[in-house]
Amino acid sequence: MTALASDSPLLKPITLGSIVAANRILMAPLTRSRAHDDGTPSDLQVEYYRQRARAGLVIAEGTQPSQVGKGYTNTPGIHNDAQQAGWATIADAVHDEGGKIVVQLMHAGRMSHPDNSGEQAIAPSAIAPEGVQMFTKNGMKDIPVPRALETDELPALVEDFVNASRHAIAAGLDGVEIHAANGYVLHEFLSDSENVRTDSYGGSADNRARFVVEVVTAVSEAIGADKVGIRISPGHAAGGMTEKDYVDTYLSLVRQIDGLGLAYLHVLIEPTDPVLAAVKTVWHGPLLLNTGFGLDSDRDALEGLIANGTADAVTVGRPYISNPDLVERWTRGAELNENDQATWYGGGAEGYTDYPTLSEVSV
């Protein structure tokens, strides 16, 4: 690989609401299951994020806004003071290196097991993910049927997102990303197969978008829309869900949140999917693109997607796992470290904080 041109669009700064990112090679949220059992972030996480602070923006891993929102083992939370204190240490570490960091608020909804959260999962409707097993503290298990939320419980769920956002700002993080993608609770509200509600939150595309709009609006009012991003993955068939009318649903959602002044819209999608072009007709803020699991995040392809106006910036997942200095490696056209999939989730420093930087390799 050759070095990037100094005027490469990947290396240009970008303003995302109140955040100025030094480059457009942003770090995608990546669950790594290295938090303590009680959801407080560990010292290893502090080191991991410090190492990756040169990403224009670090979007930290899916983090539960409440205990029932916890899906997997050893994911961090951000709903109490102890968790906030841990995130404050992470924020300081990233800021000391000159970086920016937001945390992704991920309520797992039905993609959760009581062995991990200690509670029965909640969801828009009582429908279990199809044929999906989950890694729990007690091994692989089927995911049980979640409890459907009553209409009068929804304000409390909005409040969980608001409370978590306040903790994030109090921790010194630069903002939050609301996770409405990948089959978790907000995505479940959007889906026609997982949301069969008969109240005003189910049925039409507008109704299914309603709850997500309420969460984004409430969080924006609490901490400022310029510190709030949202991630969507239109049509992503997570846990067997379908989104038959996904263009309508996402047009409804994006049209309603466009005027809030959010920091960014983060879309996980193959760039040629027609929903991306459709959504862009109603979105006027910064657009971050993640090309998804189907395509590898390739430097030159991503540069082209910014150059041709498909996206304003890109987020990169797996290459950041194994290359803490990805920005430097891509800038210089250097080789990347090999990624060890066996150490993605859980465990200690191995495969987490021990991937070498270029300077460590050349010592």
Show which residues are catalytic: 184
Residue 292 near ligand FMN by CB under 6 A: yes
CA distance 100 to 55: 8
Of the candidates 4, 41, 61, 71, which one interacts with ligand FMN according to CB under 6 A? 61
Residue 300 near ligand FMN by CB under 6 A: no
Residue 135 near ligand FMN by CB under 6 A: no
Structure tokens given for 208? 């299914």
Cα–Cα nearest to 105, from 8, 13, 39, 198: 39
Q: Mask: binding to ligand FMN, 85-124, rule CB under 6 A, as x and -?
A: -------------------x-x------------------
Residue 324 near ligand FMN by CB under 6 A: no
Residue 255 CB burial class (10 angstroms; 0-12, 13-18, ≥19)? middle
Whether residue 95 contacts residue 172, with contact meaning beta carbons closer than 8 Å, is answered with yes
Of the candidates 16, 28, 205, 232, which one interacts with ligand FMN according to CB under 6 A? 28
Q: Which amino acid is at 221?
A: E
Structure tokens given for 315? 């987020």
Q: Which is nearer to ligand FMN, 197 or 314 (CB)?
A: 314
The span of 10-18, 36-44, 217-225, 285-293 binding ligand FMN (CB under 6 A) equals 285-293
Residue 268 near ligand FMN by CB under 6 A: yes
Name the minimum Å distance from CB 362 to ligand FMN.
26
Helix (H, G, I), strand (E, B) or coil at 315: strand
Residue 290 near ligand FMN by CB under 6 A: yes
* E strand residue ranges, the chain: 14-16, 19-21, 25-27, 58-63, 101-105, 122-123, 133-136, 139-142, 147-148, 175-180, 228-232, 264-268, 287-290, 313-316
Torsion of Cα atoms, 182 then 232 then 159 then 116, to 10°: 10
Residue 31 near ligand FMN by CB under 6 A: yes
Of the candidates 231, 236, 299, 329, which one interacts with ligand FMN according to CB under 6 A? 231
Of the candidates 133, 237, 293, 354, which one interacts with ligand FMN according to CB under 6 A? 293
Name the minimum Å distance from CB 204 to ligand FMN.
26
CA distance 58 to 22: 11
Q: Which is nearer to ligand FMN, 55 or 254 (CB)?
A: 55
Q: Which of residues 173-202 bind ligand FMN (CB under 6 A)?
A: 179, 181-182
CA distance 71 to 238: 14
Q: Which is nearer to ligand FMN, 181 or 327 (CB)?
A: 181
Of the candidates 12, 114, 261, 344, which one interacts with ligand FMN according to CB under 6 A? 344
Name the minimum Å distance from CB 248 to ligand FMN.
23
For 176-218, the three-class secondary structure string (H helix, E strand, C coil) is EEEEECCCCHHHHHHCCCCCCCCCCCCCCHHHHHHHHHHHHHH
Q: For binding to ligand FMN (CB under 6 A), which residues are involved?
A: 28-31, 61-62, 104, 106, 179, 181-182, 231, 268, 290, 292-293, 296-297, 316-318, 344
